Structure 1
Amino acid sequence: MVEYSGSGDPARSLALMWRTAERPSRGAKPALTVDRIVRAAIDVATGKASWLCRCADAGLAEIEMDAVLSLVLQYVHGAARVSVEKSQAERQTGMTDNDWWMAHQPFLAKIGDAAKYPLATAVGSAAGAAFDGTIDPGFAFEFGLRRLLDGIEVFVNRSADHPSRPGP
Structure 2
Amino acid sequence: MAQSGSTRYSGTGDPARSLALLWRTAERSARKGRTDLSVDGIVRAAIEVADSEGIGALSMRRVAEQLGVGTMSLYTHVPGKGELLDVMQDTVFGETARPDLTGQPWRARLEQVARENHALYLRHPWLLQIATNRPVLGPNMIAKYDYELRAVDGIGLTQVEMDSVITLVVGFVHGAARVSVDSAQAERDTGMTDERWWQAHQPFLARMSDPDTYPVAAAVGAAAGAEHNSAINPDHAFEFGLQRVLDGIEVLVQRRATE
Identify which range, 83-92 or 129-138, moves more after superposition: 129-138
Contact 2:187 2:193 in 1 (8 A): yes
Contact 1:127 1:134 in 2 (8 A): yes
Q: CA RMSD in A?
A: 3.4
Q: Percent identity?
A: 47
Q: Distance in 1 between matches of 2:187 and 2:109?
A: 26
Give the counterpart of 2:176 among 75, 79, 91: 79
Sort the Cα spacing of 1:103 and 1:116 in 2 relative to 1 into closer, same or farther, 3 A: same
What amino acid maps onto 2:193 in structure 1? Answer: T
Tell whether 2:51 aligns with 1:11.
Answer: no
Residue 95 of structure 1 aligns to a residue whose secondary structure is coil
Contact 1:90 1:97 in 2 (8 A): yes
Tell whether 2:112 aligns with 1:44.
Answer: yes
How many residues are aligned here?
135
Aligned to 1:69: 166
Higher-Rg structure is 2
What amino acid maps onto 1:52 in structure 2? Answer: V
Tell whether 2:176 aligns with 1:90.
Answer: no
CA apart distance, 1:52: 1.3
Aligned to 1:102: 199
Normalising by the residue count of structure 2, what TM-score does the alignment of the two structures yield? 0.43
Q: Distance in 2 between matches of 1:106 and 1:143?
A: 27
Q: Distance in 1 between matches of 2:190 and 2:237?
A: 24
Residue 119 of structure 1 aligns to a residue whose secondary structure is helix
Q: Which stretches in structure 2 are left out of the alignment for 5+ residues? A: 11-45, 54-95, 98-107, 115-147
Q: Which stretches in structure 1 are left out of the alignment for 5+ residues? A: 17-37, 163-168
Normalising by the residue count of structure 1, what TM-score does the alignment of the two structures yield? 0.63
CA apart distance, 1:54: 3.9
Tell whether 2:241 aligns with 1:144.
Answer: yes
CA apart distance, 1:137: 1.7
Q: Distance in 1 between matches of 2:8 and 2:172?
A: 18
Contact 2:149 2:166 in 1 (8 A): no
Sort the Cα spacing of 1:113 and 1:53 in 2 relative to 1 into closer, same or farther, 3 A: same
Residue 170 of structure 2 aligns to a residue whose secondary structure is helix
CA apart distance, 1:119: 1.9
